[in-house]
Structure 1
Amino acid sequence: MSVRKIRNSWWVDFRFNFTRYRKRSPQNTRGGAEAYEVCLRHELSIHGSLNAYAKVEAKPTFAEFSERWFSSYAEVNNKPSECRSKKYILSASLVPFFGHQKLDEITTADIEAYKGEQLKRGNCNKTVNNRLAVLRKCLTTAVEWQIIESIPRFRQLKAAPPAFRFLEEHEVTKIIETCANDMERVLVFTAARTGMRFSELSALEWQDVDFGRRTVMIRRANVGGHIGTPKNGRIRYVPLTNDVIEKLKTLNRDSDIIFHRNGNRLIYWPSLCFLQRACKRANIEPIGWHTLRHTFASQLASKGASMQAIKDLLGHSTLTMTLRYAHLAPETLRDTIELLDASATTQHSPQQPSKPWATGGQRDIPTAPINLETLFATAFNPPLNHTKKPQSS
């Protein structure tokens, strides 16, 4: 087939005198591509080359195109926080290295040299990969806009999962006790009991909390004063423990915003300062707000929660991000392996019921999906102290 559609573009692909010619059609339709092929073959039959169709305009440099790409693509399609990150990567790293080169002159060897230069500067593999992702997207957009025909192939570096810190329950309690006021105490406690991001907490309003169903709807985020959707663009519902409900009820409802300063939404950096001051007063190494999110997930994992349930509560887009907490649940892995022992015992004991959980001496094996509200009740709410009645003789 000499005319084909690749992604969203029509291409002409044919051979003439043992030479292959592959060109994008200037008119992006099947009929336009077929007409373009006729013109190309006619030019080749008369002149033996395609000089008349050669593009004479000079390609833009990376510095020129990146400025256009940022204003026409990044600012249109990305959130403000992501735009700030990409703008920094372009100005501080990519443009100083590739800025003088024309787009069609950037090669795989150039990109490998960039990777080496970044590593020599002391940047970790994850940081380099983040910058390569911006470079790839920028060049891919140039292909989509038909400025260049292809991008050089390159691989990202192998990066180990980033280390994270989490607190023990008594450390969270000490930090809460040293907070300066009730609002700060409830904010820290809610962060540690829901796993919400600071951007989500600072955007939380009273209408998002359903006290009857004991749930909170996370549907917005406050990033740099800009109210938008949560990180992955998805609304999620998180069950609330009894103690979170009680502490939220102690706050004044003098504003639609739950956590605020004089009616204004909290700002990240001043809020980080009061959190770290509370840590110092509690003789705990200062932490960031995301540490409380790690603490929430780590406590659930260590108490046997499934990775899928933790993923849903945190609002991760993929299970890969959640699996960083898997090593904190060794007992869960042990219980899984013990299922094999239970199966072997069942096979060698015909007098036992076919369902092992029908025997009072063995623990129940759940067959239904985990209920998030039940998970919270067992993980964070202390069990009631029932006293077993003595059996009558």
Structure 2
Amino acid sequence: MATLTSVIDAFVASREHDRATLGRLAFWVECLGSRELSEITPEDVDAALVRLAERGRLKPRRGQDTASAGVPLAGSTFNRYVSQLQSIFKYARRLRLLPRAHVPPTRGIEKAPETQDPNRYLRPEEVERLLKVARVLDTRWGRLSALILTAFHTGLRVGNLQALRWRDIDLDKRTVTVDKTKNGQPIVSALSERAAAELAKLPGQTPDALVFAGRLGCPHHFRGLWVKVCTEAGLPGRNFHQLRHGCGSALATAGVGQAQIMAIMGHRTLTASARYMHQNASDKLAVVDRVFR
């Protein structure tokens, strides 16, 4: 029977994963990696989760391993660790490493409460502030405003955007094709007229060239510029991924249904898009209040 480590190794090899996903998988390998998959019990998972809660958040240390930051994990982060282990058992069942009737040891684990963070999403008016500042500060690279607008209007992840080549973009049809997303599936995203117009201004539109390349043709490391723009726009501490969340939130606020949000953002599960639906509910309430006075 396969061990948890061997199954996780196969899972990692099956597609590309972001650093956060790999970190969560590493935790499960550390705690239960040597155990055979079928022998892992709910008690084993509970013990690992107690250990996770005691460890809390990690902070990187230059030239060393990560260390505890002395800060509790957010409820949403804690839930992602549980979901990550659930995905491994689901993957093992798909590979017939476990019988279909197998009950995963994660079943019945209660989710940690998640508080709604108002700073989790970049709102449309905040994106406009970022764009205005980016146009002034980005005098050398000249692509940050196009990157921000494309990210916000498509909901694509930063890794997918950095890997885009001009052959993946059809400005006439206003589409962006990503061959492989985080979940291993291709996606064709629609470009707004405004995003398409912003991209059309960029130079070097040869098919094999990266859309958001640096001077040497490689992906441009724009983090320092992003931090500077956020600070000048009065939005310090925001991260680029919040543009993706902002896209989902804006769609839900406009009344777009969950199925359409899933299709636009490349979600495979209802849970992934459900985080935005509170915006939809708030918008509906405003409509009802306005109509039925």
**More displaced stretch, 255-264 vs 154-163:** 154-163
| Separation in 1, partners of 2:83, 2:197 | 42
Matched, 1:109 2:43: yes
Give the match for residue 266 of structure 1: 219
Shift of 1:252: 0.3
Matched, 1:194 2:154: yes
| Separation in 1, partners of 2:272, 2:12 | 27
Would the aligned equivalents of 1:140 and 1:151 in 2 still touch at CA under 8 Å?
A: no
Where 1:218 maps in the other structure, the secondary structure is strand
Matched, 1:295 2:254: no
Give the match for residue 86 of structure 2: 133
Where 2:237 maps in the other structure, the secondary structure is coil
Give the match for residue 218 of structure 1: 177
| Separation in 1, partners of 2:222, 2:113 | 30
Would the aligned equivalents of 1:75 and 1:83 in 2 still touch at CA under 8 Å?
A: no
1:173–1:112: structure 2 CA closer, same or farther, 3 Å change rule? closer
| Separation in 2, partners of 1:127, 1:136 | 14
For 1:258, give the aligned amino acid: V
Where 2:188 maps in the other structure, the secondary structure is strand
1:114–1:332: structure 2 CA closer, same or farther, 3 Å change rule? same
Would the aligned equivalents of 1:272 and 1:288 in 2 still touch at CA under 8 Å?
A: no
1:200–1:321: structure 2 CA closer, same or farther, 3 Å change rule? same
Q: Share of identical aligned residues, percent?
A: 23
Deviation digits for residues 325-360 of structure 1 (CA, Å, limit 9, x no counterpart): 222233435657999x8xxxxxxxxxxxxxxxxxxx
Q: Which runs of 5+ in 1 are unaligned?
A: 1-58, 221-228, 342-393
| Equivalent in 312, 323, 339 of residue 263 of structure 2 | 312
TM-score, scaled relative to structure 1: 0.54
Deviation digits for residues 357-393 of structure 1 (CA, Å, limit 9, x no counterpart): xxxxxxxxxxxxxxxxxxxxxxxxxxxxxxxxxxxxx
Give the match for residue 144 of structure 1: 97
| Separation in 2, partners of 1:142, 1:246 | 45
TM-score, scaled relative to structure 2: 0.70
CA-based RMSD: 3.7
| Separation in 1, partners of 2:87, 2:259 | 30
Shift of 1:81: 1.9
For 1:204, give the aligned amino acid: L
Give the match for residue 164 of structure 2: 204
Shift of 1:251: 0.7
**More displaced stretch, 152-161 vs 134-143:** 134-143
| Equivalent in 128, 132, 140 of residue 173 of structure 1 | 128
| Equivalent in 259, 263, 284 of residue 332 of structure 1 | 284
Give the match for residue 45 of structure 1: none
| Equivalent in 144, 151, 157 of residue 184 of structure 1 | 144
| Equivalent in 184, 189, 192 of residue 238 of structure 1 | 189
For 1:197, give the aligned amino acid: R
For 1:74, give the aligned amino acid: F
1:138–1:208: structure 2 CA closer, same or farther, 3 Å change rule? closer
Where 2:223 maps in the other structure, the secondary structure is helix
| Equivalent in 182, 195, 203 of residue 252 of structure 1 | 203
For 1:177, give the aligned amino acid: K
Q: Which has the higher contact order (CA 8 A, sep 6+)?
A: 2
For 1:187, give the aligned amino acid: L
Shift of 1:199: 1.6
1:278–1:91: structure 2 CA closer, same or farther, 3 Å change rule? same
Would the aligned equivalents of 2:82 and 2:106 in 1 still touch at CA under 8 Å?
A: no
Give the match for residue 74 of structure 1: 11
Where 1:300 maps in the other structure, the secondary structure is helix
Where 1:166 maps in the other structure, the secondary structure is coil
1:68–1:104: structure 2 CA closer, same or farther, 3 Å change rule? closer
Shift of 1:98: 4.0
1:131–1:305: structure 2 CA closer, same or farther, 3 Å change rule? closer
1:153–1:81: structure 2 CA closer, same or farther, 3 Å change rule? closer
1:323–1:69: structure 2 CA closer, same or farther, 3 Å change rule? closer
